Every structure is written in C-alpha cells, then in structure tokens.
Amino acid sequence: MRILLADDHDLVRETIAAFLKAEGFEAVKVVGSLQEAMGVIVEQGPIDLVLLDYSMPGMNGLEGMISALKANGGKPVAILSGFATREVAEAAMRSGAAGFLPKTLGSRAMVAAVRAMANGDTFLPYGELSDASLPAEGRFNLSRREQDVLRGICEGKSNKEIARDHDLQEVTVKLHVKTLSRKLGAKNRTHAAMIARDFSLL
C-alpha cells in the first residue's frame, strides 16, 4: 500500500511518516508542496492514499485537493490541517475528500484514520462534525450491529456473552468482530477498544 504525504513543514511530515512506517506502512513518500505531490502522482500513477496539508503552497483552499483527486484516478485523497475548522472539514468532504485529519490527532488515532481511508472508508474526527451526535458509522462506516459488538468488546465481554446480549449466533459475532476490526484498522480486540476510546465512537 502506497501513501503520499505532502506537507511544507519538515517536522510534521517526517513525524507522521514515522508513525505510519512504525505501524507497517512501508511505502510512505513525503514531499513539501502540492506541485511535488502532483508530480509523484503523474509519474507513479494513482497512489493508494494521498494526504495533503490544507495550507501548504499551491493548495489555494480546496482547489489543490480537487486537482489531486482528478489526477489520482479515483483513489482517496484526504486533507491534513493544523487549524481544523468545522466549515473547512465539511467543505472538504463535500468536495470528495476521503477524510479530514487535524494534526493534533494522537499517533494511534492518526494511524487508524489513515488505515481506514486507505481501505475505502471516510473519516471525520468527532469534534469536527456538524452534529456531534452522529453515530460511529459516520466516521468509520460501522453498522449498528458492529457498534453493538464493539461496545461489548469495550466492556470486556467475550463473543459468547455479546451473542447472548443481542440474541445472535456466536459465529455471527465473530464475523462482526472481523469486519469492524478491518474498518477500524485494529490488530486485535484490545486495539479496537483503544481506537473506540480515542475517537469517542460509543
């Protein structure tokens, strides 16, 4: 999986890239401007996920993101911002962004968001939503049943206990655990519970 990260602040892009590489994203390319990012896309073909700093040179608001979307052949493009506002986040999503990531996100949260977007989901941080009560499926596309199972996991319950609570077959719960873990980018049940806590999903 190839990630392209464009940010004009050296420390920011190198730190985020280090987080991603430490979590198994081996092909992380970093550049310092939209022009460089567009050059990489043109030269290497569609990138699995492109992350663009909202305020770096050449972006001109969301125009740069829209140009990158067109160039990236349908692959996801997301916005990074150090001054994440609700209005900009919503405008980015309306314009086709895969997500909007404040640079203030913790490392685990950032990695989980990148993994989710690279897998085709969309991401908006809890605090950037116009309706703070929007359920978890609005951020990681979790179904209601997956949320029920995730809640059980966070409460330390076994698959058998979760199945009994919701009148399900244990094999069905196992399937939900597998799918919600994929959506969250979680390595195991404990990791899923940590991500749920970090993003206030429940």
pLDDT tens-digit map of 56-103: 988 998 999 999 999 999 899 999 987 666 778 888 888 899 998 888
Rounded to an integer, what distance in angstroms lies between the CA atom of residue 129 and that of residue 139? 9
pLDDT tens by residue, 122-154: 887 754 444 433 344 445 778 889 889 999 999
Nearest in space to 86 (alpha carbons), one of 138, 45, 41, 132? 132
Q: Which of 19, 5, 122 is nearest to 56 (CA)?
A: 5
**CATH match of 2-128 with 3.40.50.150:** no
- Start-end of CATH 3.40.50.2300 domains in the chain: 2-128
Q: Which residues contact 126 (CB under 8 A, 6 or more apart)?
A: 132, 139, 199, 200
Contact of 117 with 123, CB cutoff 8 Å? yes
Beta partners for 94? Answer: none
Comparison of pLDDT for 137 and 199, the residue scoring more: 199
Fold held by 137-198: Arc Repressor Mutant, subunit A (1.10.10)
- Confidence label for 164 from pLDDT (cuts 50, 70 and 90): very high
